[in-house]
Amino acid sequence: MNSDNWVIKPPDVSIKNFSDNDFESLSWHDVPVRGFYFDDVENSFMLLIDYVLEWIHPNVHKIDNTYRHWQIPSILKFIWINDIEVNLKWKNWAMQLSIDEIVRKKILPPTKASTGTFYRYEINFSVPRDGKIILPIATSFGLHLLGEPYLYDNDENYKKYLRELMKSNIDKLLKFF
């Protein structure tokens, strides 16, 4: 069966913004990172990612023995970070970043005068292997989906999709940066 003979409905993305309350329901496995940015006004750290919405088993698409997936360009934002530790070392790897998991732990306020909830985030990467970014103190996080789901088939087609999305949504993107 070739790819023209199967149809898989895209996942629902009527909800475009996720926050602290949604953290446990989100999956980060194999999420590619396209870039990152620091905002010194609100002390935030943002990653431009391709959030994986849904994995498609080879038994469903029946093209080959590889998993396919629906993904969507997104911004992952950590707000009011206090420090950051970055440990990324590429050795004999392509210059890529791929998230394996994000671990969140509630922590005590940094000072007696601090109010609100504070978290420690650890972003562990599968590429580069053993890479991580640690945010020892942050007040919250947000995931903002941009565009529409894209059934990932190869990098060249996806790059074309991203270029078109950027052109048509530049104002929307700039509000995050």
Mean pLDDT of the chain: 84
d(CA 126, CA 6): 31
| Residue of 170 and 45 predicted with greater confidence | 45
Neighbouring C-alpha atoms within 13 Å toward the C-beta of 153: 9
Residue 1 confidence (pLDDT): 37
| Residue of 1 and 126 predicted with greater confidence | 126
Two structure tokens written together for 69 = 């997936």
Question: Is the pTM here over 0.85, yes or no?
Answer: no
Number of domains in the chain: 1
Q: What is the extent of the structural domain holding 85?
A: 3-174
Q: For residue 103, what are the β-bridge partners?
A: 122
Q: By C-alpha distance, which of 105, 133, 132 is closest to 118? A: 105
Counting Cβ atoms within 10 Å, is residue 79 exposed (0-12), middle (13-18) or buried (19+)? Answer: middle
* The amino acid at 158: Y
